[in-house]
Structure 1
C-alpha cells in the first residue's frame, strides 16, 4: 500500500527562504541536478535520514520515538505537506490525515459548518457529508455544542470532531498524529474500536503517532521506532516497544553512582540511584497485577537543611495520576539517605507511565528535580486509566517514606 524508499529530509537552520524568486529557482535547480549529501553541516539539520519500510493494505502501523525524532516530519511528507530532500514514497489510494488538532477548522464557524468545510478539504463531496452527517456528530459526542463556534471548543472537543470527520471519510489511508493522547478515556476507547473496525472490516490502512504504548500494542500490526531521524527498528509491537522503552526512558534506571562527585544533582543534593522494580515479569512484559517498588538514594551535601521527597506518576498523555510525599526530614551533612515506596498490584491500569521526583525544602521550594527520570509500560487485558482519585485516598494506600 505504501513504500518509503530511502526518505531523507533536511532543513537549513536559521533560514526561512531566499530573498528573491531567482534565488529560490537556483536552489531548486541545484537540488534536482546535484546528489544531496547526508553528511551534516553547520547550517543543515537532517530531520530524517534514509528511512525505508513498507506498509501492507489493511495494516495499522505505529510510529514511536522521542520528541524531535522525525515522526511528524515523516507523516507530513506522506501527507504531501512537505517534500523529501531525497528518496521516494510509492503508494496507492486516497490519504486523510489529522496532523494537528483542529487542522482545517475555522474558528468563527460552528462545529456543523466545520464538518462540511473540513470534510470537503479532505476530499468528500457535499452529498457524501450530508449522508454521513448524523454518524459524524454522534461519534464526536458533542451534539450539544455542534452549533457553537469552534473557537470556544476545548482541545478535546476539537480532536473529537476532527477524528470523527476523518474516521468517516472514504480514504484508503488514515494518518493520525497524537490523536489518541487527546480526549478522555471513553473517547480514546471509541477511537481504538473505530480504528480496529476500519482496519479489519473495511481494509483501510492507518499510520498512528502516539506515546500510548499500550494502545499501540493492542492496535498495531507493526511498529516503526525512529531515533534522531533514523529508523532504529521496524517490527512486531511487543519487542519493538520494549526496545524503545528500554532505550528512551533511562536516565537513572539500572544506574548506581559510586560517589557524589559523579552522580547527577547540584551543590545541595546528589542522587545515587532511582529505580522502579516490578515484583514479576512474564517474557519481559510487566503486567498491571505486579507490585511496583520505588527506591531512591541520595546524598545531602550541606548542613541544616530539611528535605521532603515528592514522587509524581504521570500517564503518557501528561495527566498527573499520583502525587505522594515523604515526611519532612532534617538531614545530616554528607550523609546518604534512602526513600522507599510501593504501588500495589492492579492500582494502575494497563498503559504507559513516567515518574518525576522533586526534592523540596521546608517552605516547599524545589531544591532539585528530575522530570521523567523513569518510565514503565504495564500490560493487561483492559485499558483502565486511574483517573481522578482524591489525594486523601491516594495517601491512605500509597506510602513514601525514609528508611
Structure 2
C-alpha cells in the first residue's frame, strides 16, 4: 500500500446466517420459524428481494460482496446508498466491530468511529470517565486527554452533565458527546455514520464544519455516511455509492450523487410513505400519506404553473402523547436536488405547533396561491421534528409534475431550461 493511502479494501465479503447468527432477538427467531412453516422464502422475511444476496433459498445472505476501494490520506469520502445497501456493515468491519467473511483491509492509522448512539461508551461510567476511556483505547496518555477535555466538553455542550453516568443521557446528548470525543481525540481516521441525524440541525452543521476542519487543516481522513445529499456535496471530495452490498460506483461526488438519486427515485416514486424504508428519525411521528390537491380539494396528478394548489400531508403518531413545538416542513427540489422553495409551519405561522395527547393521526396542509414553478418534473422532501429530536425525514417523498400554465397572465413562460423558479414581477418602460 502506497504512503498516500489511508484505507485499502480488496475483495471484501460479509456473510450472515439468518435466524442463527443474524437474528438479534427472540422475535426474529419466531418470525423465521413461522415463515418456514408457511412456506415463505427468507428473502420475503428479511426484505432482501431482488438483490441476489441470498445464497439460493438457504439461511445465508451476503451483506457485502466483492467490495473494493481506496481512500487517500486527508480525503473525505461520502458513502451513500439506500438503507440495506451495506453501508453500516462496511463501517462496522472497518471499525473492527465485526470481522469480514473474507477479503483484505489495510489501514494506516488509528480509527475513531461514531456508528450508533452510545457506541464506545460504558453506560455506568460518567461522561468524563468515558472521555478518558476512549482516549486510552486510542493509545493516548492522560495528560494528552486532559489537554483536549475542555474542547470536547465545550463542543458537546454537556458541561453540567459531565459527571453524570451516560446511561442517563438523552440520545441527542450521547450523539453530541460521541462526536466530540471522536473528532477531538485526534485519530488519523474518523468514521461517522448516519447517527448525526439524531442531533439538531445546528449541531449537525457544527459537525460538518468540524469534519471539514480535521480533513482540510489537519490532514486526517474522514468516512461520512449520510442521506443528506446537500451535506455530502458540501463536505466530501469523493463519493462511493453502495447498492445491494456491492460498490455501484465511485468517483467525484458531483458524478456519484446523480447516480444515487436515480436509484433512490425508483423506490420512492412507487411506494406509499408509510412503507418507505429509506427514512431518518426516531419514528415517534411518521409521514403516512401525501396528496396534491386543487382549490376544489380534488386530488390531482399534475399542477399548472401559477395554479392555486395545496400539499395535504397526513402524519401518524406512533404512541399518542403530547408533543410540543413541532416543526413540519416540505422542500421542493429540482432534478439535481437543488432546493427551489421551502415550506414550513414555523416560518408561515411564526411558531411551532403542539399535538394533543389523544391524537393518533393528523393532517398538515401547505397552501400555495400561485405555484411558482415552470413546466418540468420536481420532487419534494418531508421533515418533522421538535427543538430536540428528529421524528421523521423522507427524501424524495413524492413527485411534483408541472405543466406550463398562465403564470404571468400573458400566455407565455420563459424556457424551462433557463428558469425553473418563476418570480411574479412587472416591467415598466
Q: Give the shorter-chain TM-score range.
A: 0.5 to 0.7
Q: Which moved more, 1:388-397 or 1:197-206?
A: 388-397
Is the partner of 1:46 in helix, strand or coil?
Answer: strand
**Structure 1 residues 324 and 135: alpha-carbon distance in aligned structure 2, compared to 1, 3 A threshold:** same
8 Å CA contact 2:110, 2:138 repeated in 1: no
8 Å CA contact 1:141, 1:160 repeated in 2: yes
1:389 aligns with 2:346: yes
Q: Equivalent of 2:98, from 82, 103, 111?
A: 82
Q: Equivalent of 1:219, from 235, 246, 249?
A: 235
Indicate the residue corresponding to 1:268 in structure 2: none
Indicate the residue corresponding to 1:379 in structure 2: 338
Q: Please show how residues 196-345 of structure 1 align to structure 2 within 5 Å.
A: 196-251=212-267, 253=269, 317-318=280-281, 338=300
Partner Cα distance (1:183, 1:328) in 2? 38
Q: Equivalent of 1:115, from 128, 131, 156?
A: 131
Is the partner of 2:258 in helix, strand or coil?
Answer: helix
Partner Cα distance (2:12, 2:295) in 1? 54
Indicate the residue corresponding to 1:98 in structure 2: 114
Is the partner of 2:346 in helix, strand or coil?
Answer: coil
1:40 aligns with 2:55: yes
**Structure 1 residues 9 and 375: alpha-carbon distance in aligned structure 2, compared to 1, 3 A threshold:** farther
Partner Cα distance (1:385, 1:190) in 2? 22
Indicate the residue corresponding to 2:205 in structure 1: 189
Indicate the residue corresponding to 1:177 in structure 2: 193
Q: Equivalent of 2:69, from 53, 64, 68?
A: 53
Alignment RMSD (CA, Å): 4.1
Is the partner of 1:249 in helix, strand or coil?
Answer: helix
1:135 aligns with 2:160: no
The alignment covers a number of residue pairs equal to 296
Instruction: Give TM-score scaled by structure 2 length.
Output: 0.59
Indicate the residue corresponding to 1:281 in structure 2: none
**Structure 1 residues 224 and 252: alpha-carbon distance in aligned structure 2, compared to 1, 3 A threshold:** closer
Is the partner of 1:250 in helix, strand or coil?
Answer: helix
Q: Equivalent of 2:11, from 6, 9, 22?
A: 6
Partner Cα distance (1:60, 1:67) in 2? 21
Q: Which moved more, 1:59-68 or 1:103-112?
A: 103-112
Q: Equivalent of 1:167, from 176, 183, 201?
A: 183
Is the partner of 1:106 in helix, strand or coil?
Answer: coil
Unaligned runs of 5+ in 2: 1-5, 23-52, 317-331, 351-363, 372-429
Partner Cα distance (2:312, 2:194) in 1? 22
Is the partner of 1:247 in helix, strand or coil?
Answer: helix
Partner Cα distance (2:315, 2:123) in 1? 43
Partner Cα distance (1:47, 1:321) in 2? 28
Deviation at 1:247, TM superposition (A): 1.4
8 Å CA contact 2:135, 2:145 repeated in 1: yes
Partner Cα distance (1:236, 1:176) in 2? 20
**Structure 1 residues 398 and 89: alpha-carbon distance in aligned structure 2, compared to 1, 3 A threshold:** same
